[in-house]
Every structure is written in C-alpha cells, then in structure tokens.
C-alpha cells in the first residue's frame, strides 16, 4: 500500500480530489478507518471530551495524547496520522512547542502535528517546521480558546474576525503549514480561504467549498446521543445499537440463555 504523504495531500487539492479525515484515538478503530481508506487520521485533543469525559479539551496532557497517538499508529498502514498538541504545550514558547513535538514524533511515530491559532503562535509553527515536522494549522472555533470565546457557536461572522482569519491562514501558509483545519465558520468565508491559499483547507462545520472534511468519530458514528449540531451528518446510530446489544446480552445472561451448549468447552 502507498502511504499518504503531505505531497499526495497537496496533489489532491491541485486535482480537486476531496480529502477525507476522521479522528481516531485507539488501535482498533484506527485499523478499521485505515482499511476503509481514510486519507488522514487525527488524534484530536477531542479525546479529552469523547474518551475521558472532560467538559473541555483543556485538561488533556501530552502524555495522554502520546498514549492515544501511539495506539493509533500501531493500527495503520496507509493513513497520514496527525496529532494535536494539547493546551499548554506550545502557546507562547516556541522551544516548548518544539520539545512537545519531538516527544510526539519520537514516542508515537506519527507523521505530523496540529496546533490551534494564527499570528499568536507563528513562531512555534516555524520552529516545528524547521525541525522537519509537518504542521497542520487550525483556525475558527479553536476549542482550546473556549474560555475566551465563551460559546461554541459559529465564529468569524463579523468582518474584523473574518479578516483576521484570512490573514492568519495566509501567515500559516507562508510559515510552511501543509494544511489548515477551519472549524465552524461561514461556508463562504471558508471558500474564500480555500481559494486564497494553495495548501489544502479541511473543514468541520465550514461548508462544502473547502478541500476536505473532518469529523469526530464519535459524532459521525452516533455514539454521542445528544450531540447533533447542524454541520454533523450521522452515518450510524451506534449509541442505540450498542445500547440494544448490551441489553440483549444482559437478558441472555439472566435468562441462562448465554452461554448455550455450543458456546462452552
């Protein structure tokens, strides 16, 4: 199998082939997504929410992210694996950003990192790229800044924030990022970004005019029962499936139906 590289991802944008990206946090799911042909697997710090049950992404540590990322990498043969640098491991100190990245690359064998922000973190982006590590940017609704935003609603609906986002996207491209994620912004603004820079722009809640799409696996598979934002398309209702299977199993054990004669030694 031919491994996905940043060059292949760039070629996809140039050729107008959309890029598929999904989060993964463990070996078994990564293996399925990789077999299915996912271009990029993101070991997102959304692990804080969907794996660990935290309210925000802020509490997850570099050690936690490394555990998840190493598990994902052991499950893949083809997908490009990107790991989120968690809150507090890169902002305001580019040397720390590089040190965090070096730990991720050495201890997980992932292929690149993602970091949230534009102009404010540019020095960190440049230092990481100068070490030969591909960096994916992340603009718009950046969840590590939730305490600044105060809400998870759509970003950059006002001209000033939209202009800053456009400028940040250009700065990230100039700094050498191989791609940028845009989260929860108006579709026409995302279109403008995707047309004004040359690197792939991957959207979540950013509409159809971008170069690829990313979703959180638990949302896409319907494991999170009550999370139904407008931008989400659910491909399964796994909560209901797993709930039903669990109840059936409980029933079969209580009713002495499981195990039967063929299910024992």
Report the SS3 class of residue 225: coil
CB of 151 or CB of 257, closer to ligand KIV? 151
Segment near ligand KIV (CB under 6 A), from 42-50, 66-74, 165-173, 245-253?
42-50
Question: Known binder of ligand: residue 116?
Answer: yes
Segment near Na ion (CB under 5 A), from 11-19, 82-90, 126-134, 208-216?
82-90
**Closest distance between ligand KIV and the C-beta of residue 21, in Å?**
8
Positions 18 through 47 that interact with Na ion (CB under 5 A): 44-45
CA-based nearest residue to 46, from 58, 30, 35? 58
CA-based nearest residue to 116, from 190, 55, 177, 205? 177
DSSP string over 7-26: HHHHHHHHHTPPEEEEE--S
CA-based nearest residue to 68, from 36, 121, 30? 30
**Which stretch of DSSP H or E encloses residue 116?**
strand 112-116
Determine the residue with CB nearest ligand KIV. 44
Segment near ligand KIV (CB under 6 A), from 38-46, 72-80, 102-110, 235-243?
38-46
Q: Please, are residues 180 and 201 in contact by the beta-carbon 8 Å criterion?
A: yes
Question: Known binder of ligand: residue 20?
Answer: no
Q: Does residue 183 carry a catalytic annotation?
A: yes
Positions 195 through 224 that interact with Na ion (CB under 5 A): none
Q: What is the DSSP letter of 117?
A: B
CB of 23 or CB of 94, closer to ligand KIV? 23
CB atoms within 10 A of CB 213: 20
**CA dist., res. 18 & res. 82, Å (int):** 18
The answer to whether residue 45 forms part of the interface with ligand KIV (CB under 6 A) is: yes
Positions 48 through 107 that interact with ligand KIV (CB under 6 A): 84
Phi, then psi, of 258 in degrees rounded to 5: -115, 130
Candidate list 6, 46, 100, 124; residue touching ligand KIV; CB under 6 A: 46
**CA dist., res. 18 & res. 13, Å (int):** 7
> 17 exposed, middle or buried (CB, 10 Å; 0-12, 13-18, 19+)?
middle
Catalytic residue among 55, 107, 174, 183: 183
The answer to whether residue 144 forms part of the interface with ligand KIV (CB under 6 A) is: no
Question: Known binder of ligand: residue 252?
Answer: no
The answer to whether residue 219 forms part of the interface with ligand KIV (CB under 6 A) is: no
Q: How many residues does the chain have?
A: 265
**CA dist., res. 113 & res. 84, Å (int):** 6
The answer to whether residue 181 forms part of the interface with ligand KIV (CB under 6 A) is: yes
> Which residues are annotated as part of the binding site for 3-methyl-2-oxobutanoate?
45-46, 84, 114
Please list the active-site residues. 183
> Which residues are annotated as part of the binding site for Mg(2+)?
45, 84, 116
Which residues lie near ligand KIV (CB under 6 A)? 23, 42, 44-46, 84, 181, 183, 204, 214, 216
Which residues lie near Na ion (CB under 5 A)? 44-45, 84
């Amino acid at each position: 199998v031919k491994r996905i590289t940043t060059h292949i991802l760039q070629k996809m944008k140039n050729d107008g082939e959309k890029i598929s990206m999904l989060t993964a946090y463990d070996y078994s799911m990564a293996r399925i997504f990789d077999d299915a042909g996912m271009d990029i697997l993101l070991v997102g710090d959304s692990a804080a929410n969907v794996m660990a049950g935290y309210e925000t992404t802020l509490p997850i540590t570099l050690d936690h992210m490394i555990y998840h990322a190493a598990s994902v990498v052991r499950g893949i043969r083809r997908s490009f694996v990107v790991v989120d640098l968690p809150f507090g491991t890169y902002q305001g100190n580019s040397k720390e950003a590089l040190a965090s990245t070096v730990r991720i690359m050495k201890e997980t064998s992932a292929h690149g990192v993602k970091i949230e922000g534009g102009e404010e973190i540019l020095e960190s982006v440049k230092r990481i790229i100068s070490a030969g590590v591909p960096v994916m940017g992340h603009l718009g609704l950046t969840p590590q800044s939730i305490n600044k935003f105060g809400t998870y609603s759509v970003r950059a609906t006002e001209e000033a924030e939209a202009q800053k986002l456009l400028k940040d996207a250009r700065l990230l491209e100039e700094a050498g990022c191989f791609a940028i994620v845009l989260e929860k912004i108006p579709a026409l603004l995302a279109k403008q970004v995707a047309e004004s820079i040359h690197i792939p722009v991957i959207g979540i809640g950013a509409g159809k005019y971008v170069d690829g799409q990313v979703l959180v696996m638990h949302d896409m598979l319907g494991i999170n029962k009550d999370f139904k934002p407008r931008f989400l398309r659910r491909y399964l209702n796994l909560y209901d499936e797993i709930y039903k299977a669990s109840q059936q199993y409980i029933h079969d054990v209580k009713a002495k139906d499981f195990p039967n004669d063929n299910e024992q030694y």
